[in-house]
Amino acid sequence: MSFNAPLFLFVFLPVFLLVYLLAGGRLRNGWLLTASLAFYLWAAPLYFPLLLLTLLLNFWFARLAGQRTARPLAARRALWLGIVFNIGTLAFFKIIVRYWMVLAAEAALPPSLTLYLQNHLTFPLGLSFLTFQAVASLVDAYQGRGERIERFFPYALYLLLFPKLIAGPIVRYREIAGQIADRAVTAQGMADGARRFILGLAKKTLIADMLRPLTDYGVFALSVPSLPAGSAWLVLLAYTLQIYYDFSGYTDMAIGLGRMAGFNFAENFNYPYIAKSLSEFWRRWHITLSGWFREYIFYPLERRRHGRGGLRQSVNILIVFVLTGLWHGVTPNFILWGGLHGTAIALEAGSPGKILKRLPVVFQHLYAMLIIMVGWVFFRSSTPAYALGFLKSMLGLTEAHTPPFSILPPPEAPLWLAMAAGVIFSLPVIPWLKKRWSSLTAERPRLAIAGGIFRDAALLGLLIVSVFVLSAATYQPYIYGKF
């Protein structure tokens, strides 16, 4: 089940909200945990036992890790056992799901078992995000940051909250423990959350999914890319916009759902495509993931560098971004993608970065977007050879053939509109309009009320159009749901 699935929109969400509002303060957490368990059980029943085992073990590890003062040896063991369990489980599924066919052939498994694995072995729902949140809670508990983990119920609710279960944002226990214990569910919060949810649904449905014919209908499934240069650039632009609106749309929906339930989740995107460097890009893109790597990987490496035996800062940066690539998938392409970003940021931290800052802003922006878009080629391609071939097509260095419509359909009006909207709203247009509107209505309350009515009417229109498009199209999962 996903947020853009009809079952969620028209059955799960209305029932959840109705019972949640009627339940009252004392019963809301119980209903929220029940709904989160049902959400996971419906979407991934095969892995439900693994989920329960993960919850129980992580609670046990986190509780022991928090007893560092009283039981230092036991706390340290619990910390490392918990990290090994979580990262080991994640690595196992990253590898086994990716390479199960090769492993099955080498192990000479019976055909019936191979067929069963082919039909049922998938990546567990939300495992990457759950793993990172669990590891963060272990480290924070060991270091004494935030509230101690003593009770299973609030900890399980922290890990399982269905709005952030599939693809984040990554939330620390110390950030949300107080909200789990006590939060206000207000009409204003419900309204703000609903607005944010609708905006995210429109991003996903009316922009990201509209661009899908150029990126998912066969271009990246070819053995060798042989596109004309113009077509290659068009496909890459479409994917650059698609992945942003798909992921940020999900995040808007998750934050909106959390707001309706009284939670305030961290923001995950801040107009990343206006960045003037790769360093700035990662302060704007998937902010909670980059923050996790910075706090739990980069800072410890840097503290070691300032002590004894540490590596150079550029090497530490590269390690962080190679690990970021591996978090997305254990494939050469993700490693190359992470390595590209890490190399660029390492260079920006040195003398080349000083030169970059002296260039006109437009050239800084062009540099950043060039690296970002080249990185998306490796991110989306299946092999390094395909990615290099695609880059050659972009430069016009291959023998180009116009692909058939089944592989690259001709762009039509909805696609051009989605692409234009994607480019426009990837810029901070909405914050600028809000600022201008606030100054205009500062002393005109009636105009502010009329503007609010117009805004809500426009959002209602977006919701209707999004639902209409969803009803006429096949279900499209979230890109980051598979990571």
Active site residues: 328
**Residue type at position 186:** T
Residue with the two structure tokens 């808007």: 252
**Inter-residue contact 13 to 19 (CB < 8 Å):** no
CA distance linking residue 185 with residue 36, whole number of Å: 18
Alpha carbons within 13 angstroms on the beta-carbon side of residue 230 total 4
Instruction: Report yes or no: 308 and 277 within 8 Å, Cβ to Cβ.
Output: no
* C-alpha dihedral (354, 358, 360, 363), degrees to nearest 10: -20
Closest listed residue to residue 60, CA positions, set 35, 81, 87: 81
Burial readout 376-396 (b: 16 or more C-beta within 10 A, e: otherwise): bbbbbbeeeebbebbbbbbee
Residue 230's closest CA among 214, 245, 241?
214
Instruction: Tell me the H-state helices in 408-444.
Output: 413-425, 429-440
C-alpha–C-alpha distance, residues 406 and 154, integer Å: 50
For the chain, give percent helix, strand, coil, nearest 5: 75, 0, 25
CB proximity list for 24: less than 8 A, separation 6 or greater:
none
208 vs 212: CA distance, rounded Å: 7
Calpha distance 82→37 (Å, rounded):
22
393-396 long-range Cβ contacts below 8 angstroms, 24+ apart: 393/225, 393/226, 393/227, 393/228, 393/229, 393/231, 393/232, 394/229, 394/232, 394/233, 394/236, 395/229, 396/228, 396/229
